[in-house]
Structure 1
Amino acid sequence: MSLEQRQNMRREKLIEAGLQAYGTHGFFSVTVKDICREAKLTERYFYESFKRSEELFKAVYLNLLDDIQRKIVEAVMQKSPDLQQMITAGLSALLNSLRDDPRTARILFVDAVLVHELHGDTIHESHARFDQTIFNFLNIVFPDQQENKSQISLIASGLNGYVVHIAMRWVLSNFKQPFEQVLEACSLAYLGIYQQFNLKSKSQG
């Protein structure tokens, strides 16, 4: 293996260790030594990839977002072109990712709010990514709304915020409400917009 490959492998080990440590104990209860112990690496190798703990947390956070986004897109496309099934599949992929791995839920919706390293560009970037994913989905579902791209963009941002706040409440309640109830609540906004656009199309036709 080349030096770069070995460095990348060590970085991945540290990210995996970060997911386990931060997701289990919380960012503020974990030290660099804890991460290195979990990764079975010396501190020298930690500082080879990251200047401080916040940088590792940011890498873990972005990795989790990428993974969830990939799962959502794959789930949605498997159910195309049935709109209701696409909505259910995408939202289920998100909610299942949170419920099935509480580490993910804790990092995305508890510690991410508290770790100042994420504030500003990183949080904005992550929201923008999901806004774009929803925007692309809406363009597939409503191909006749191409002239209303600015409105669709606003709706995508609104849907993102709506679902994120429901998911955050669910996570913070320790998944108290039944999965189906949470899924239905998330779905209603999508279905309502779909019905509204259908009515609009019929009235214009």
Structure 2
Amino acid sequence: MSAEERLEERRERLISAAYTLYAELGFPDTTIEKLCTVARISNRAFYECFDSRDQLMMVVYGRCVRETLETVAQAVAEAPETLEDRIEAGIATYVRFVTSDRRRARILHLEVRRAGDCLTVSRQEAVAGFCRILEEEPGLSAMAEQAGVELRLVVLGMLGAMQELLIEWALAAEPLPVEPLIDTAVHIFRRTLAA
């Protein structure tokens, strides 16, 4: 392998180690030493790949967000044309994709908060990305206007409700069934716009 390929391979091992350790131990308790042990690299090699634990967390979180956004956008694009079907497809796909890997759920909904200021901008960008998917849905603006609410605030409230549902799921000692989470999120969204 070339030097660049070796560096990239180490980066990927660190990302993989962080994905597991940040979810299992939590971001605050995951030291660089633990990351390096799991990734089977030296501490010095860590700093050839990343400036800090915070930077590594930003990369891991960014990858989780990107994969989730792509999956949800594709599901919405492939859903039947009715607004209701597209909303349900987006919510169901989001919940199922995030819960398909407990580590992803914990990173996206728990560790992002525990990481503190280093992820504030990344988190705001992620929320904006999910808001855009919903705000671009034809018909939602009219429904929000008819309900007398501002669509962006409804979307932010919906995202907040989904985050709390997924935090509950991630913290449960025994995995909770996913379908009730989806049904609840869809119900909240429908009732908000129908109010």
TM-score, normalised to structure 2, is 0.81
For residues 158 and 44 of structure 1, the distance between their equivalents in structure 2, rounded to whole angstroms, comes to 44
Alignment of 1:117-156 (within 5 A): 117-137=117-137, 140-142=138-140, 151-156=150-155
Q: Greater relative contact order (Cα 8 A, min sep 6): structure 1 or 2?
A: 2
Paired residue type of 1:61: Y
TM-fit CA distance, 1:142: 4.2
Q: Which residue of 2 aligns with 1:77?
A: 77
Unaligned runs of 5+ in 1: 197-205
Question: Contact between 1:27 and 1:111, CA under 8 Å: does it hold in 2?
Answer: yes
Q: Percent identity?
A: 24
Name the amino acid aligned to 1:25: L
Structure-2 separation of matches of 1:45 and 1:8: 11
Displacement, 1:103? 0.8
TM-score of the two chains, using structure 1 as the length reference:
0.77
Alignment match, 1:108 = 108
Asked whether the equivalents of residues 141 and 151 of structure 2 are also in contact (C-alpha less than 8 Å), the reply is: no
Q: Deviations over 1:158-193 (max 9, x none)?
A: 322232222223323356553222111100133335
Contact 1:68 1:94 in 2 (8 A): yes
Match of 1:199 in 2: none
- Please name the residue that 1:58 is paired with: 58
**Superposition CA RMSD, Å:** 2.9
- Paired with 1:186 and 1:19, the residues of 2 have a C-alpha distance of 27
**Rounded Cα–Cα distance in structure 1 between residues aligned with 2:128 and 2:174:** 26
Residues 98 and 171 in structure 1, CA contact (< 8 A), matched pair in contact too: no
Q: Which structure has the highest helix share of the two?
A: 1
> C-alpha separation between the residues in 2 aligned to 1:125 and 1:142?
21
Structure number, greater radius of gyration? 1
The answer on whether the counterparts of 1:91 and 1:183 sit within 8 Å (CA) in structure 2 is: yes
Which structure 1 residue ranges, 4+ long, deviate > 4 Å from structure 2?
A: 1-6, 142-145, 174-177, 193-196
Matched residue of 1:73: which SS? Answer: helix
Conserved? CA contact 2:105–2:166, under 8 Å: no
1:60, distance to aligned residue in structure 2 (A)? 0.7
1:175 and 1:90 mapped to 2: Cα distance? 26
